[in-house]
Amino acid sequence: MKRFILRYWFALPILLALSMLSLIYLFLSYPSVIEEIICVLLLLTLIMLPVSWVLLFVNKQRWKCFLSFSSSFVIAGVLGLPMAMASMSAPDGFGKDHPIPDGLKYNLPIEEDSCSTEPVDSLDSNTYLTIWKDCQGGIYTYDFYYGPLPAGEIYLKCFEVTENLPLSEERIAAESSQAIIKPTSSFSKLVNRHEFTIYEGDWGDYYAARIEV
């Protein structure tokens, strides 16, 4: 291994660049087994690079050490941001894996410029839940009306319909959808355009969800 690294030290920065470029490409497509293999390859490369720098330095090949060190940091700096952005925008295939069943009755989130007041996902006639579509995919706001209640907190729970899978459970319940309410003595509006985000799924790749208060 030592002899190989001293002779082919330049292969590691090249491997670093190729693995990062491959991950950027794979992040922009649907995840696969290949992506996991490339991730392992990138991890091994990141482990081997410091080892190669030490070996080159100890064996008095300092200009090669400097060249490998500097080129690796340039590669990581240039490709790191695109890789991070690609990973955040990578499609997760959730909608494709959970198609909307034929014949299922459902309501769409209301557009901001709509005059509709139709409740969405409201099974109880004494409740009135309205889901509004916000400017970006996965981001919504909700209004909620209910009868007399003491002061407290309201939050949402969201589930995929076909398998009853919780959607963004911790973020929605613990963070984004929570709203503090004042005590009420009659049927009234408790929540007004409170924003929440569902992270599963990709833009234009729709699936059915159930929303509970």
pLDDT in tens, 95-153: 778 888 888 888 888 876 655 555 444 545 556 888 888 877 788 889 898 888 899 99
Contact in structure between 197 and 174 (CB atoms under 8 Å): no
Q: What is the value of pTM for the model shown?
A: 0.55
Distance CA 97, CA 64 (A): 49
pLDDT in tens, 53-101: 888 888 888 888 899 889 888 888 888 787 777 666 555 677 778 888 8
Mean pLDDT value across the chain: 80
Q: Phi, psi at residue 25, to the nearest 5°?
A: -65, -45
Supply the pLDDT for residue 30. 56
Give the residue ranges of DSSP H helices in the chain: 2-7, 11-27, 33-58, 62-88, 94-97, 169-171
